[in-house]
Structure 1
Amino acid sequence: MPDVHERYIVITGGPGSGKTTLVEHLGAQGFATRPEAGRAIIQDQLAISGRALPWVDPALFAELMLSWDLRSYREPAGPGPVIFDRGLIDTIGYLRMLGRTVPRHLLAAAGTFRYHRRVFAAPPWPEIYEHDSERRQSLGEAERTYEAVVRAYADHGYDVVALPRTPVEERAAFVAEAARQ
């Protein structure tokens, strides 16, 4: 994989579909990983009583996600694949899902900061979906998020590959094999 963006592999999908568990598992196998922006931002904003929460100020939340994702993109990594728990295109899908205009600078970032052409999408998985203090979406909202982010990646020229609904070890093997191609 000669270009840096070809080493950057995104795992996307709706909330509660096993993305983070998969990324953490791949990290334990030695892959460099980048954490999801949204959950960390929500945790930070709740801790400081901030406004950049998806249920308070979605536009500000989206700006912080973009900033986080740009920083994650630029963080140094070794020579091998880097697994991202979501990428900046997810923010485009999020805003579209809300019926909001996607700012030009976000579209410019999507064209400039590219990932591997193959993006892995974790489909909605009702059997493992759970609410928590940061994940307040209903299963229906999680499904709409999945559809919106998959569409956003496809619209930006990525090949979206659905992950199987299998145990994390099998999902990891599926992604690891593709990452080495």
Structure 2
Amino acid sequence: MKIVLTGAPGSGKTTLIDALRDLGEQTVPEAAIDVIQALVRELGLAEQDEWRRGDPLGFQQRIYRHQTELEAVLDPSRRSFLDRGTLDGLAYLTMFNTQAPESFKVELAAHHYDHIFFVEPLVLDELDLRQASGRNDSEEEAAKLVELLQAVYRDNGYRIHRIPPLPIAERIQFVLDLANRLELETAPR
């Protein structure tokens, strides 16, 4: 079972993924962070930001390639939690007024996920957008992404399960309880 944790930047997805990994769950880190770090090494901090803003499609294509590499090594017999899914790229492209070629939309949508967990944003003035890592999301963009991400998954036929902004220990338990329940509901009888 592949479960995507999606949501606005700074909503706590990575904290959840790290905690789930520490509990022995199979996880996939956020591909965009790896790509950004590679770009920082390649171009420098300011230059990578300029390149990303200037070529949002190229950036999302790099993320997609890395995401598919990360997903390809998952053990299909184990449940996995992913820090974002391939469709997140469409939301980002929409936010940056960039039209994805139809062929890229088809590629992004070809990845099947069993469940989408939308991690609801924390209080905006408590957001940690990790901009020192090279990310360049603003609070306004984070708020806009809340709607765009939900729309892109709904438009592709997914039901969204909401993860409320609870204290971390409660949030982890909420995610595990929901995943366990969904696993039981979909298990062959």
The TM-score, its normalising length taken from structure 1, stands at 0.88
AA aligned opposite 1:12: T
Distance 1:138 1:151 in 2: 20
Alignment partner of 1:76 out of 74, 77, 90: 74
Shift of residue 78, structure 1, vs aligned partner: 5.8
Q: CA RMSD in A?
A: 1.8
Alignment partner of 1:8 out of 2, 22, 39: 2
Q: Which runs of 5 or more structure 1 residues have no equivalent in the other structure? A: 1-6
AA aligned opposite 2:116: V
Q: Where does 1:97-176 land on structure 2 (aligned, <5 Å)?
A: 97-116=95-114, 118-125=115-122, 126-131=124-129, 132-133=131-132, 134-176=134-176
AA aligned opposite 1:48: E
Per the alignment, residue 3 of structure 1 pairs with: none
Distance 1:168 1:123 in 2: 13
**Could you say what secondary structure the match of 2:27 adopts?**
strand
Identical columns (%): 29
Distance 1:8 1:30 in 2: 15
Is the Cα contact below 8 Å between 1:11 and 1:85 reproduced in 2?
yes
Distance 1:23 1:151 in 2: 23
**Could you say what secondary structure the match of 2:145 adopts?**
helix
Q: Which runs of 5 or more structure 2 residues have no equivalent in the other structure? A: 184-189
The TM-score, its normalising length taken from structure 2, stands at 0.84
Shift of residue 127, structure 1, vs aligned partner: 4.3
**Could you say what secondary structure the match of 2:141 adopts?**
helix
Q: Where does 1:83-94 land on structure 2 (aligned, <5 Å)?
A: 83-94=81-92
AA aligned opposite 1:22: L
Q: Which has the larger radius of gyration?
A: 2
